Structure 1
Amino acid sequence: MERFFESLENLQAEHGCFHDIRHSLHIIQAMGLPEEEADSLLDWCEHGGYCDCEIASNTYEYCKTIVATPNLGIRLLDILTFS
């Protein structure tokens, strides 16, 4: 997850937010995830909002909450653990 958020922050810093999820989609494609995992990550992003700047702030905070809560979201975190 860290790699995703780091990449999203970098793209936003360089290009700004276009008020859509083009940066998130680009990162997910560049990660080369299998389709099921890419779809799971995209679904996960919807917890944060519908544009890259909302995803960057809201989803990251939500992710930290899930990680800090034992046994919650274990499958999702297993799917989305990438280096």
Structure 2
Amino acid sequence: MDEKQRKKELKKQLQLEQQRKFEESLPMSREQFIHLFDELDGCLEEQGCNHTNTLTVRILDDMKVTNKEEVIEWLREHGGYCDCEVLWNVEECFE
């Protein structure tokens, strides 16, 4: 294996490790996050953002998420300090 191939392989391994760590850090399932983002997108289109996590909390309540505080803290750690930032900053982590 030449140097270029070796670097490419190392980069791929690093990306896979980062993805694995990200997935392990999730306080709820990926599917629940996707549902949250979809619901939040619709709510924000109708109501706009009041620069709080009010809509996110309401959606998590509707989803019957039991560790809501942990999810909110996780969202904040990933740049989701208000409802619109959850979509702008956090949703892209799932792409």
Q: TM-score under structure 1 normalisation?
A: 0.66
Which residue of 50, 63, 86 corresponds with 1:18? 50
Give RMSD over aligned pairs: 1.3
Identity %: 31
Tell me what 1:78 maps to.
Answer: none
Specify every segment of 5 or more residues in structure 2 that has no aligned partner in the other structure, as ranges.
Answer: 1-32
- Number of aligned pairs? 62
2:94, 2:70 → 1: CA distance? 13
Specify every segment of 5 or more residues in structure 1 that has no aligned partner in the other structure, as ranges.
Answer: 65-83
Larger Rg: 2
SS in structure 1 opposite 2:64?
Answer: coil
Q: TM-score under structure 2 normalisation?
A: 0.59
Tell me what 2:35 maps to.
Answer: 3
Checking the alignment, whether the CA contact within 8 Å between 2:57 and 2:68 is kept in structure 1 is no
Q: Which runs of 4+ in 1 moved over 6 A?
A: none
Which residue of 70, 89, 92 corresponds with 1:40? 70
- 1:61 is displaced (CA, Å) by 1.0
Tell me what 2:30 maps to.
Answer: none
Bigger helix share:
2
